[in-house]
Amino acid sequence: MDIRTKLENDFMKTLQAEGVDGSEVEGIKPLPWYPENLAWQSNFSRNQLRKNQILERFHEFLKLQNEIGNITRQEAVSMVPPLFLDVRPEHFALDMCAAPGSKTFQLLEMIHHLADPGTLPSGMVLANDVDVQRCNLLIHQTKRMSTANLIVTNHEAQNFPSCHLNRNFANGSETQKRELDINQLQFDRVLCDVPCSGDGTLRKAPDIWRKWNTGNGNGLHGLQIQIAMRGLSLLKVGGRMVYSTCSMNPIENEAAVAEVLRRCGGSVELVDVSSELPQLVRRPGLKKWKVRDKGMWYASYKAVPDNRRGGVVPGMFPSGKTYADASEQNDDATRAQLSDNGNNDTSENDMPVLEDSAAAATILDDEEVSTLPLERCMRIVPHDQNSGAFFIAVFHKLSPLPASAFQQKKPVSLREKLNSSNIQAESLTTKVKEDENVEDVKPVDSVGNEDVTMDDADIQAESLTTEVKEDVNVADVKPVGSVGSEETTTVDAGNGTDETILDAEPSETLEKKEKDETQPSTDTRAEPETNRGKRKLQMQGKWRGVDPVIFYKEEAVVGKIKDFYGIKDSFPFEGHLITRNSDMNHVKRVYYVSKSVKEVLHLNFLAGQQLKIASVGLKMFERQTSKDGASAPCIFRISSEALPLMLPYLTKQILYASPADFKHLLQYKSIKLGDFVDAGFGEKASQLLMGCCVVVLNKDNKTLSEAQADPSTIAIGCWRGRSNISVMVTALDCQELLERMSMGVEEETDSSLPETKTLTAEADEIVEAEEGEVKEDTKQP
């Protein structure tokens, strides 16, 4: 019985008839707009779940399933944006601002939808977040998915690298460059859930009432546009991007969407998704709004005083017009009055959030109405469908973005305009003097030519003229003189500067580097061609505090693992194994990556390690460090996460257990070979080699090969010791499996086992090591 069936047949009927705290409420129900009844909503408060006796069993069920990873608890409305992405298993998807990871989890579910046992989808998900601590939370959330199709990175979203590869000057051998299918990072789907003021979460975060002010949304407007533009530049032509916020502020929503459309011209369109998710109640986007700043309401940009034009920009208004000559149209008295009002020292924080709109000063002028199809945006409000508030816009990329999309002119103030002619003349003269070839100087007008187009990968979002802060940590780059230190990175200051502007003609920067020295690589062991430089390359990787990603190519060790478990030759091993430890003699964990992730890792290496990878791959094998583990023929055991993928390919070290014996293993954690209910099972177990083994539950009298190919098969990793079999899964996993078995397997008596059962010293050591693994840091070792 699966979780959905249990919710429908057990909890839904039981809780519906119960009265909680003296009132009858609809306890749980499926969300009508979520496909296949895979999302459910609970109307119980946190206090009710914790303190009410009636809800105790339901609460324990939620906690256990959430910890195991079978369910994810999140705000219902935040599940909406990934649904509009229309992700399919073959897609490359990017989650630009992914933490804490609930939406990333949804994307992974879509990628793995309908995948056969032992197979991986051809697509992948790349989840990114700017904050290291939030990346750790993201890794913890997605770890429960046990996927080989995920990469977690740590970058500023607006400066996310595209890993553009110039094959003439890239690292690696010519064979590697020819075999690589991709030459830059581009995605079929991009989720752009940008940072916002969060005023749509007032119901669950009432403290926002006290902290909120208009400066929050105005201050984030520019960053939101930068992130959205970067997302569109990384999106493939024909791809779809979803822009979303948990805010109702039009400055963060419709204004940002309108500005993106204006910059992209006809290369991007807003998609009308009104026919998708028909049971989701939504409202159309706004076509007109005013901008509030320092206690004033402005209906158009020409009403904004000069001293406030740094914080209020044209893109915040429906039309987006700059009104560069507005200062000439307004008389001096009006301009002076506006300046006085703008200099008001009263802070928004000192003003009540709810105020009489009639009392607020308003500069009306001509109220603007956007001509863009912003009604295609979606506004979800709490009182329509008992949810939080959310804003969603869906973009479709029709063609490469124009170069002018990233060359926006700064709004001209009155003071700047008065001095512009002198400054422009002086700067132009200086420019001509500095350039050796006067004919190479382009006229100013040619910069904004909308007919000029560039490849998206050669466009740096918004801040192309500034150094990318996240791409190379300047503080982490050591000068050339410090290369000899054991704790230094291998990238010198010159390299760091060259790689900051990732997409601006990489051929020039890489050509210069190749003349000077060899670039450091992510996998110096796997790619020996890169070790020919004069300096000894360190093995810490490019990014300080982040372990390198190294392809694991120890053929002797891999061969021993394949022989010990009898892994079929049809399982793709070559090029799919990685480790995060540069010392091949002390590798503790070996990870497995899908073909799509492997391609991205190779691209990242050849392009100069532009991606700061926090986590990648599915943990497949782990070195057993116990005393008995060291003496086993194979010291690497199969991890629990990798069992679903590996099970169809195993031919050795595998046992088929009856429900009674399987249940006893979960209950007692360790059983002597002669104490199993089925004597034949104990005899087969004694014939296994000492070391890791897999025990499969025989619940429907299928053959072992049939059970291995069944996605619903339950299997656990165990350790075959000298005289016993010990379970190698956590206590939580054991508890969850026992509950699943109790739904479909009749209760068995324990009379066949001795009354007293204690863990042997060997089993105790193994189980403690396994449970201690869960408490480790979420970072990959």
CA 390 to CA 244: how far, in whole Å?
Answer: 7
Enumerate the active-site residues: 246
- Phi and psi of 369, rounded to 5°? -130, 130
* Side-chain half-sphere exposure of 242, counting CA atoms within 13 A: 26
Q: Is 157 annotated as a binding residue?
A: no
**CA torsion angle 411 412 415 419 (round to 10):** 140
Q: Are 111 and 123 in contact (CB under 8 A)?
A: yes
Q: Are 638 and 692 in contact (CB under 8 A)?
A: yes
Tell me the two tokens of residue 398: 């029709």
Q: Is 744 annotated as a binding residue?
A: no
Q: What angle do CA 320, 321, 325 make, to 5 degrees?
A: 155
CA 134 to CA 65: how far, in whole Å?
Answer: 23
Q: Is 455 annotated as a binding residue?
A: no
- Quote the strand ranges of 324-478, DSSP E: 361-363, 378-380, 390-397
* Side-chain half-sphere exposure of 199, counting CA atoms within 13 A: 18
Element (H, E) at 306: none
CA 549 to CA 35: how far, in whole Å?
Answer: 37
Q: Is 598 annotated as a binding residue?
A: no
Q: Are 699 and 712 in contact (CB under 8 A)?
A: no
192 forms bridges with which residues in the sheet? 243
Task: Provide the 10 A C-beta neighbour count for residue 427.
Answer: 11
- Phi and psi of 348, rounded to 5°? -65, -25
Q: Are 590 and 623 in contact (CB under 8 A)?
A: no
What is the amino acid identity at position 448? G
Q: Is 733 annotated as a binding residue?
A: no
Q: Is 98 annotated as a binding residue?
A: yes
- Phi and psi of 219, rounded to 5°? -70, -25
Tell me the two tokens of residue 281: 């109640």
CA 102 to CA 105: how far, in whole Å?
Answer: 5
For the chain, the first-to-last Cα distance in angstroms comes to 36
What is the amino acid identity at position 33? W
- Phi and psi of 376, rounded to 5°? -75, -15
Q: Are 244 and 393 in contact (CB under 8 A)?
A: yes
CA 752 to CA 672: how far, in whole Å?
Answer: 13
- State the pairing for strand pair 296-298/291-293: antiparallel
- State the pairing for strand pair 92-95/187-193: parallel
244 forms bridges with which residues in the sheet? 193, 392
Q: Is 224 helix (H, G, I), strand (E, B) or coil?
A: helix
**Residue 629, C-beta contacts closer than 8 angstroms, at least 6 positions apart:** 623, 635, 637, 691, 719, 766
- Phi and psi of 497, rounded to 5°? -70, -40
**CA torsion angle 90 391 145 730 (round to 10):** 180
Q: Is 475 helix (H, G, I), strand (E, B) or coil?
A: helix
**Residue 274, C-beta contacts closer than 8 angstroms, at least 6 positions apart:** 376
- Quote the strand ranges of 129-229, DSSP E: 150-153, 187-193
Q: Are 741 and 99 in contact (CB under 8 A)?
A: no
Give me the helix-helix angle, 132-143 and 102-111, nearest 10°.
40
* Side-chain half-sphere exposure of 83, counting CA atoms within 13 A: 18
Q: Is 264 annotated as a binding residue?
A: no
| Residue length of the chain | 781
Annotated binding-site residues read: 97-103, 129, 193
Annotated binding-site residues for S-adenosyl-L-methionine read: 97-103, 129, 193
